[in-house]
Structure 1
Amino acid sequence: MTTRRFVGLALVGSLGLGGCAGHSGAVAGNAPAPARKETQATREARAAETRLAEHVEEQEQSSPEQEQAERDAFAKRAIEALRTDGETRNIQYDAEGFLLRLGDKDGSTVFLANFYEEYRATVPEKRDEVFARFSHVKDLPALPGTFAEARPNLMPVVRSRTFFEQLRMVVKGGAGKPVPISWKPLGTFLGVGLAFDGPDTLRYLGPDELARWGVSFEQGMNAALENLRRRSPEPLEQLAPGTCQSPWEDSYAASRLLLDEVVRRCQVHGTPVVLAPHRDLLLITGSDDEDGLHRVASKALKAVMAPRALDGRALRLTPQGWVPFMPERLSNAWGDFRQLELFTRARDYAEQTQQLQKLHEERGEDVFVAAYTPYQDERGRTLSYAVWLKGVESVLPRAEVIFFMDPARGRESPPVGIARWEDVAKAAGGLLEPVEGLYPERYRVKGFPTPEQLARWKNDPSELFDEDGP
């Protein structure tokens, strides 16, 4: 991903905000997409997001063309690895979805993103090992004909909710359409699905497989949880009194948060709090343990940067199940949890932005998919923002702050209003229509606030931070 670090905002002057935002440009596929009727207003909307940054410090900066060339080169080597390992089926590369389709009928789909991240994080002399592991994807385990035969190999798979929700766009289903994987939400921002565990790879299960076996998702999940329970007799690793981590590196460490008896092996202070930043890492501490919260947050910050990361946000165990958790504002751990939250939301929105842009391009629609951008100032205070432009058909992320821009005032004109999301929703909520079937949530704008409303939102951005800072 192209990464930029913004160290100033033209509209803020000396406030000196800094943050990270990923490139959200469209990626070309194998065949040219339908011509997109992009208007001057939409081009101006993209430019307005960029102009909010007064100074840009490049970090691993590359053009969209360079980035696409690198991804295409990786896909070419991945195909070569499959052929070398004996794959004879037709292989189709979908550059837009960054995936391979193996076989012409009843074949399999191989997503390249995780392997690509792992490849980029590996030192050059060991990158051949990534392709050696990748070649095993062609050996998806064959599914038995009956549930009784499949039952011993069923496993619950915890992943980010974004993984499941955005799959429908990757496989060309479109927002609001069912996905080929059976799953259910977990703790708001995670999801849990079913997989058949093979010797080298796992195979996600969907409604068709379950229907063929004559079982429901709940029946399959119960069997999978029993299998996971049998694989989890080891004690947790203690990081400090009341703070633990999982000892397993079997792709199911995060799934152990589904086993209450495993979570409670950690004798915590308060109620159990977990972080599942990576599929091979589950962190547990107590809601009243400030040192423990700081410790798990520090480990999670590193883990969410690794390939195959899940989610950086925390969950707390309640009688009703897992619910989102944030430490008290005065806690020393709050800053780390806040950073994890912003990073995860920015990552999720960046992935969604790219997929939505591709979807609109394929449909020939001129829609501005606004970015979700986090910022941090020199005092350590943070916020997230999105840009709402007058006269531009847009879908906005739910950012904490909205910058209202009027292109008719000129390219260098400052925002005509700046307000927190809650204030906008209260005064002009009728202009925000939720887009069904999307996670994270987005809103289609219907018009622009009135001059009277904008007059009340002549805010200094420094007054809109979510915390006072040190």
Structure 2
Amino acid sequence: MLSRLLHWLPRRRPDEDAFAQHFVRAARRAGVIVPLHYNRALFRIDLEEGGHVNLHNAHRRYLSSPRHLQEQVVARYVAWLVGDHPVHDPLQEVRSRLLPVLRNASLLDQTKLAAAEKAGWDEDASFQYRRVSNECVVLLGVDSEEHTLIKPEGPDASWGIDLEHALAVARGNLREQPDLPFEQPADGVFKAAWGDGYNSSRALLPDMLHRIPLRGLPVFMIPTRELLLVAGDRDLDAQATLFRLTEEGLEDGYAVSWELFQYVDGEMQPVELATPQLRSLQRRLRLQLQEGNYAVQQELLTHLHQVQGNHVFVAAYGINMKAERSFCYWAEGVEVSLPKTDCIVLAAPDIDTEPMMVEWEAAMPVIGHLLEQDHRHIHPPRYRAHECPNRELQAQLTPVSFD
């Protein structure tokens, strides 16, 4: 009875500062004695000996969980701080714990930005990963009871194996995990049910998905680390359901990809969607995930420029869900960093003129020479510009609106 009553109590909804304080108190109760420093600007806990714990996903998951499960969310993130997690174990000690992890490529960008705060942009971020799509990468992970240590730098040099060898071992270890049946949350839709943090990674095992009784060949989505959803390529209704279940699953955080995948010669490849309805569902999902990725990137990049004393306007990624379009604002009089969007709002050349919005691709033949892709970023992409298009250039552009 008590547990049922607790389930219906209102959720605790602390703001970021209150949640960070709550997290630190929980860590102390769990026995963490190392110095913990709350980095308010980046909403994370910095460890004195190096490293940090990002709180964005923990906070989001805490707020979306029923009250009686909220402390379990905190405990899960605290657990990693409690144990000893060496990062340079000998290969014979970690070989059986190597597992592949699928992540959004923005994780690499966030790692690079965090390193640049201490070492500057010139720090060599020699990541090792295998690209699956524009959104997704496969990284090497080392599993432990409470945490997956992701190794974006790849295998330790002392192991004497390259990334492909390590990932082959990792996939073999994943295949040897106990086999479980896929759940069926809706007609024609199947869901991985391991609940071990590697549901999405099982998309790297094509034979596992080919065993599911589908209408056609498997197509699948990996919207989060915990979610692998599968349907048949001939079942368009089930594919639409995939996108709807994906939107619900995103409330748990850990976003990976908005793409629908298929297997081509055993490798994951994005699918060209068959109907306008499916394309619309995917566009909406893409906007939501890109907005989240760009928001974290903007926060980290703005902080980095402040630390380095750079005067750069880091533009936000805005979305208009009704129009299913994204946009950014190109400010005047300062160096800007623009996200890649569907539309750009250009600063007015004088105070008596309204800002003008233009289609990004349509405008590039006229103003593209003012933009330079910022190759310091891995994903999502950004573009640098030192001046806004003047009156003459803007006169050559066709304005658009979301009306």
CA separation in 1, counterparts of 2:318 and 2:361?
A: 17
CA separation in 2, counterparts of 1:434 and 1:108?
A: 29
Q: 2:76 aligns with which of 133, 141, 145?
A: 133
Query: Contact 2:127 / 2:154 at 8 angstroms: preserved in 1?
Result: no
Q: 2:289 aligns with which of 318, 325, 344?
A: 344
Cα deviations by residue, 1:151-182 (Å, 9 ceiling, x for unpaired): 11111111211122212213435557455975
RMSD: 2.8
CA separation of 1:449 and 1:268: change in aligned 2, threshold 3 A: farther
CA separation in 1, counterparts of 2:389 and 2:349?
A: 14
Paired position in structure 1 for 2:298: 353
CA separation of 1:146 and 1:308: change in aligned 2, threshold 3 A: same
Cα deviations by residue, 1:131-162 (Å, 9 ceiling, x for unpaired): 33333112144467421221111111112111
Of stretches 219-228 and 117-126 in structure 1, the one that deviates more from structure 2 is: 117-126
Cα deviations by residue, 1:410-466 (Å, 9 ceiling, x for unpaired): 4xx312x43211112222221110001212111112433354442232434158xxx
Query: Contact 2:36 / 2:47 at 8 angstroms: preserved in 1?
Result: yes
Q: 2:381 aligns with which of 441, 449, 452?
A: 441
Paired position in structure 2 for 1:428: 367
Cα deviations by residue, 1:302-354 (Å, 9 ceiling, x for unpaired): 111223333333233323833333523x4432322111011111111111111
Q: 1:110 aligns with which of 38, 50, 53?
A: 53
Paired position in structure 2 for 1:284: 230
CA separation of 1:437 and 1:293: change in aligned 2, threshold 3 A: same
Paired position in structure 2 for 1:216: 162
CA separation of 1:93 and 1:447: change in aligned 2, threshold 3 A: closer
Paired position in structure 1 for 2:319: 374
Using the TM superposition, give the Cα deviation of residue 270 of structure 1 relative to its aligned residue in structure 2, in angstroms.
Answer: 5.3
CA separation of 1:210 and 1:459: change in aligned 2, threshold 3 A: same
The letter of the residue matching 2:360 is: W
Query: Contact 1:158 / 1:193 at 8 angstroms: preserved in 2?
Result: yes
TM-score (norm 2): 0.86
Using the TM superposition, give the Cα deviation of residue 129 of structure 1 relative to its aligned residue in structure 2, in angstroms.
Answer: 3.1
**Secondary structure of 1:305's match?**
helix
**Secondary structure of 1:414's match?**
coil
Q: Tell me whether 1:95 sits opposite 2:35 in the alignment.
A: no
Paired position in structure 2 for 1:325: 271
Q: Tell me whether 1:459 sits opposite 2:381 in the alignment.
A: no
Identity of aligned residues (%): 26
CA separation in 2, counterparts of 1:317 and 1:140?
A: 39
Query: Contact 2:210 / 2:217 at 8 angstroms: preserved in 1?
Result: no
CA separation of 1:100 and 1:448: change in aligned 2, threshold 3 A: closer
The letter of the residue matching 1:192 is: V
Query: Contact 1:290 / 1:331 at 8 angstroms: preserved in 2?
Result: no
Query: Contact 2:218 / 2:231 at 8 angstroms: preserved in 1?
Result: yes
**Secondary structure of 1:170's match?**
helix
Cα deviations by residue, 1:199-229 (Å, 9 ceiling, x for unpaired): 2222223548611322222222111100101
Q: How many residues align?
A: 387
User: Where do 5+ consecutive residues of structure 1 fail to align?
Assistant: 1-66, 464-470
CA separation in 2, counterparts of 1:434 and 1:399?
A: 13
**Secondary structure of 2:277's match?**
coil
TM-score (norm 1): 0.74
**Secondary structure of 1:120's match?**
helix
CA separation of 1:176 and 1:434: change in aligned 2, threshold 3 A: farther
Query: Contact 2:337 / 2:384 at 8 angstroms: preserved in 1?
Result: yes
Q: Tell me whether 1:302 sits opposite 2:248 in the alignment.
A: yes
Query: Contact 1:400 / 1:421 at 8 angstroms: preserved in 2?
Result: yes
Paired position in structure 1 for 2:27: 82
Paired position in structure 1 for 2:103: 159
**Secondary structure of 2:198's match?**
coil
Q: 1:395 aligns with which of 317, 333, 337?
A: 337
CA separation of 1:111 and 1:385: change in aligned 2, threshold 3 A: closer
The letter of the residue matching 1:94 is: N
Query: Contact 1:274 / 1:315 at 8 angstroms: preserved in 2?
Result: yes
**Secondary structure of 1:461's match?**
coil
The letter of the residue matching 1:246 is: A
CA separation of 1:178 and 1:286: change in aligned 2, threshold 3 A: farther
The letter of the residue matching 1:325 is: V
Q: Tell me whether 1:334 sits opposite 2:279 in the alignment.
A: yes
CA separation of 1:76 and 1:365: change in aligned 2, threshold 3 A: same
Q: How does 1:30-69 map to 2 (within 5 A)?
A: none
Paired position in structure 1 for 2:65: 122
Paired position in structure 2 for 1:4: none
Q: Tell me whether 1:293 sits opposite 2:239 in the alignment.
A: yes
**Secondary structure of 1:130's match?**
helix
CA separation of 1:149 and 1:401: change in aligned 2, threshold 3 A: same
CA separation of 1:320 and 1:442: change in aligned 2, threshold 3 A: farther
CA separation in 1, counterparts of 2:142 and 2:238?
A: 35
Query: Contact 1:168 / 1:174 at 8 angstroms: preserved in 2?
Result: no
CA separation in 1, counterparts of 2:188 and 2:73?
A: 37
CA separation in 1, counterparts of 2:150 and 2:180?
A: 26
CA separation in 2, counterparts of 1:198 and 1:160?
A: 21
Paired position in structure 1 for 2:148: 202
User: Where do 5+ consecutive residues of structure 2 fail to align?
Assistant: 1-12
CA separation in 1, counterparts of 2:127 and 2:46?
A: 16
Query: Contact 2:135 / 2:256 at 8 angstroms: preserved in 1?
Result: no
**Secondary structure of 2:156's match?**
helix
Using the TM superposition, give the Cα deviation of residue 373 of structure 1 relative to its aligned residue in structure 2, in angstroms.
Answer: 1.1
The letter of the residue matching 2:308 is: R
Query: Contact 2:366 / 2:396 at 8 angstroms: preserved in 1?
Result: no
The letter of the residue matching 2:59 is: Y
Higher relative CO (Cα under 8 Å, sequence separation at least 6) belongs to 1
Query: Contact 1:121 / 1:307 at 8 angstroms: preserved in 2?
Result: no
